[in-house]
Amino acid sequence: MGPDDTADDRLDRRWWKEAVVYQVYPRSFNDSDGDGLGDIPGVTERVGYLDALGVDIVWLCPVYDSPMADNGYDIRDYRAIADEFGTMADWEALLSALHDRDMRLIMDLVVNHTSDEHEWFRRSRRGDEQYEDYYYWRDGRPVDEADDATNEGPPGEAPPNNWGSYMGGSAWSYDEGRGQWYLHSFHEKQPDLNWRNPDVRDAVAEMVTWWLEKGIDGFRLDAIQCLSKADGLPDGDPNDAPVGLAQFTYGPRIHEYLRELYERTFANYDVTTVAEMSGTTVEMAADYLGEDGDGLHSLIQFEHMDIDAGPGGRWDPEGWGEWSLPEFKRVLSRWQRADDVWTATYLGNHDQPRIVSRFGDDEASREASAKLLATFLLTTRGTPYVYQGDEIGMTNTDFETLDELDDPMTVGAVEDIIESGAADSYEDLRAFVNYTTRDQSRTPMQWDDSANAGFTDGDPWFPVTDTYREVNVAAARADEDSIWHYYRRAIELRHESPVLVYGDYDLHVPDDEQLFAYTRTLDDERALVVLNWSGERATFDPDGLGVGDARVALANYDDPPTAPVGSEFRPYEAAIYRY
């Protein structure tokens, strides 16, 4: 992008706005030592690959020392690397390899909770004075006072309140040693840190500074909605999913904690922060961002992830899988138009199923629809996030039995559903689970058509999806028309086009059930994006959009219409016009 100081000031140009992020789930990315688990040297081996794709930032999911109850989101030691992923020297080598190619590295900052094997928790559960208040410890209630959610405790005793965890069951577990219950918004092996305790905040800030000093380029802040809980930890509405959600998220001190962390750490470095904020709305979001807010740069909102859930949320086995394009456009356009908010643009990640199976058509139109999704990701406002494997159109697979699943969230949800009587067995839930489970995005990366898709020479920790003979990186790179090359070109186009990063967003044909079309405008630069988000032909007929013949900057069919208005677009046809 050409230098222009005045425009820079007006646009508030930032490297993290202009960047494209690639998310690596290290366990499933590339195994360098044949133990069947992806590792850090495996990522380093592929830095050239990422550079060829054209991405600027790698977001590496947790590689810290961990017992892996939640694949690394349960951290045992924040300052050490898990053996299975390599060593600190390996991590340093990855950082240098990325920096050598002008790419940056951000990592997860998981500080709502630790592992129950973290030293802080081990000492806290022993009642060690310095750590006794590091977590939420409470006495139980007599059974008859309590609601039904209960994890095993002493006879006659129920958890301190009725909160449920995101991973199913009660949000409380009983600890025999301490004779009390501890809170875990997620898995029982992920006890929540007590952010009310200033010692906890000091320890977190110290640890964050330690990583910043090592030269990391930023953090993705995990589950920040949970950092502050409602005063007194009151019971929640039994109809919430999970129960207590309104009490254990977005509590009264959240801004204070984030602002303090920012001032003590991020503010002193040229790094970026992106906060995972499940449950946030456009109205809430701006308060977290920028110098006038909590100093965060951008956020991951979830509204479009909820679009196809049943009335009871993601794990409601009734009414899932239906979504309408007009509603999807309404939700996303709200975020696109919010001038004071900068979001991560994403359609999938390690917590979601495969994007082409969910939002495209992985059977009749896998190639076209995967390219359409790429077009969307790279032409909207916000920092685009590409999740590993989506750049080759990896698809969902079929988990035939409960035993084939790994994700504790899915397993917990299935157990809860069966216990509630809404289903008798996994078989009743199989189609639903296959649609939504986080495991869909955690199958090994498909590099080539050799054994185990070239992911490992050993036994893969998780089965490779059987599409790998056709759907793999080597085949995609050898074919100029592939989804991979389309991503590469779309990334390049974004890098060359300030209008795609900074331009205003205007939605056209909002009620059209097939077309998602918008213009991006920056002074006299204009881009029009037309996406036929359906398997049928559709005519683009907006009111008053004065575009005659336009230059096609990128399209997923060879011969796109050159006069978009009034033209017919084929199934999953996507085109970016400049005019």
Structure tokens that stand for 424 in this block: 């008798």
Give 194 or 379: the residue with its C-beta nearer to ligand NOJ: 194
Place of tokens 């899988």: 321
**Adjacent-strand bridge partners of 174:** 181
Q: How far is the CB of 455 from ligand NOJ (least distance, A)?
A: 20
Give 305 or 372: the residue with its C-beta nearer to ligand NOJ: 305
Q: Is 351 in the site for ligand NOJ (CB under 6 A)?
A: yes
Angle between helices 408-420 and 426-436 (to 10 degrees): 140
Give 461 or 505: the residue with its C-beta nearer to ligand NOJ: 461
Give Cα 526 to chain centroid, integer Å: 30
> Hey, CA dihedral for 510, 311, 536, 500, is it positive or negative?
positive
Parallel/antiparallel/unpaired status of strands 272-276 and 137-138:
unpaired
C-alpha 78/C-alpha 63 separation (Å) is 9
- Is 276 part of the annotated catalytic residue set? yes
> Hey, CA dihedral for 203, 206, 212, 217, is it positive or negative?
positive
The site map against ligand NOJ for 300-339 (x = CB under 6 A) is ----------------------------------------
How many residues form the binding site for ligand NOJ (CB under 6 A)? 9
The one-character DSSP state at 28 is G
Q: Catalytic: which of 188, 276, 407, 573? A: 276
Q: Is 186 in the site for ligand NOJ (CB under 6 A)?
A: yes
H or E element that contains 105:
strand 104-109
Written as one string, the DSSP assignment of 515-572 is EEEEEEEETTEEEEEEEE-SSS-EE---SS----S-EEEEESSSS--SS-TT-EE-TT
Q: Which of 519, 539, 527, 560 is nearest to 368 (CA)?
A: 560
Interface of this chain with ligand NOJ, residues 260 to 289, rule: CB under 6 A: 276
Interface of this chain with ligand NOJ, residues 61 to 100, rule: CB under 6 A: 70, 73
Give 27 or 46: the residue with its C-beta nearer to ligand NOJ: 27
The site map against ligand NOJ for 208-247 (x = CB under 6 A) is --------------xx------------------------
Q: How far is the CB of 266 from ligand NOJ (least distance, A)?
A: 20
Give 72 or 454: the residue with its C-beta nearer to ligand NOJ: 72
Q: Catalytic: which of 222, 390, 391, 416? A: 222
Residue nearest to ligand NOJ (CB): 73
The site map against ligand NOJ for 106-125 (x = CB under 6 A) is ----x---------------
Burial 263-286 (b: 16+ CB within 10 A, else e): ebbbeebebbbbbbbbebebeebb
Q: How far is the CB of 110 from ligand NOJ (least distance, A)?
A: 5
Q: Is 248 in the site for ligand NOJ (CB under 6 A)?
A: no
Which residues would be at the binding site for ligand NOJ (CB under 6 A)? Answer: 70, 73, 110, 186, 222-223, 276, 350-351
Q: Annotated catalytic sites, by residue? A: 222, 276
